[in-house]
């Protein structure tokens, strides 16, 4: 597998902020796709919890993911989320063994 690191940002979005914020965050996630080492970046809304949004990034390595989060683009995202009163939770995963899949598809 090419994916060596994953970043996940969960956002709890107030209903009044949905329309304007979704457009802003979708545009930001498109710009994030140009980051070195980024394989995919996208925004998804929870099927079961409408106010929960997930912004996820998939990276070719941990170092590129870390550089992205130290870049000047992240404060812009944080400022946008803060303006709309969004609560966030962040996590990242890396250094997992992608050579031997847990579940093989035949």
pLDDT digits (tens, 9 = 90+) for 72-105: 888 888 888 888 888 888 888 887 655 555 444 4
* Residue 44, pLDDT above cutoff 70: yes
Measured CA distances, 102 to 66, 93, 106 (Å): 26, 16, 13
Higher pLDDT, 2 or 47: 47
This prediction has a pTM of: 0.81
Give exposure, 18-56, as e/b (b: 16+ Cβ within 10 Å). Answer: eeebeebbeebbeebeebebbbebebeeeeeeeeebebe
Rounded CA separation 37/15 (Å): 34
Query: Could you give the domains of the chain?
Result: 5-94 (3.30.70.100)
């Amino acid at each position: 597998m090419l994916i060596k690191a994953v970043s996940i940002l969960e956002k709890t979005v107030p209903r009044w902020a949905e329309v304007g914020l979704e457009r802003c965050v979708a545009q930001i996630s498109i710009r994030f796709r140009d980051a070195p080492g980024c394989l995919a970046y996208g925004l998804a809304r929870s099927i079961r919890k409408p106010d929960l949004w997930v912004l996820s990034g998939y990276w070719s390595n941990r170092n590129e993911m870390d550089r992205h989060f130290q870049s000047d683009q992240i404060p812009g995202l944080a400022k946008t989320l803060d303006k709309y009163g969004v609560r966030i939770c962040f996590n990242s995963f890396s250094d997992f063994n992608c050579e031997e899949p847990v579940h093989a598809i035949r």
